[in-house]
Amino acid sequence: MTDIEYRRANVSDARRLATIGIAALQQAYSAIDQDDPQLDDAAHMLVATEGSRIIGYVSSKAGDNHISDLWVAPDRQGLGIGGELLVRMEQDIRARGFADLHLEVLTSNTRAIGLFKYRGYKVMKQGMKMDTIQAVPFHVTELRKPLIGA
């Protein structure tokens, strides 16, 4: 085994860190058991399908007013799928009695931030936040949207 060195991450590591993170997430998700009680959160997820293929999803973990995930397959982005998933989740959250909702997105994801702003979200703050899964800090943008009267 070669000697392993440990050091602080730097900006030039970002692409390689993302590659490792994606691979680790894919491995973790591939081991999910469909009978796992953690999948109860699926009641607070909406999916977009094309035939039998899931092409996007949005999630509100724990059924609260925080959108935790909004993802669209790369080959289906730019077709309004993310916007429609967002609108439907907003309706779901409003129906559960919440007056507003919030989400966080990587500040570098300007395309997503553009979508959220277009849909009426306002930037509340930006700053560094530790990713609890990958244990690395990311610069995030927090956005909010009122649902009452919307």
* CATH number of the domain that residue 45 is part of: 3.40.630.30
Structural domain contains residue 19: no
Residue 55 forms part of a structural domain = yes
Tens-place pLDDT, residues 85-96: 999 999 999 998
pTM higher than 0.85: no
Q: pLDDT for 14-29, tens place per residue?
A: 777 667 766 666 666 6
Give me the number of domains the chain comprises: 1
61: containing domain: 39-146
What tens digit of pLDDT does each residue of 92-133 get? Answer: 999 989 999 999 998 988 999 999 999 999 999 999 888 776
Do 88 and 53 form a contact (C-beta atoms < 8 A)? Answer: no
Nearest to 102 by CA among 116, 81, 118, 85: 116
Mean pLDDT value of segment 70-75? 89
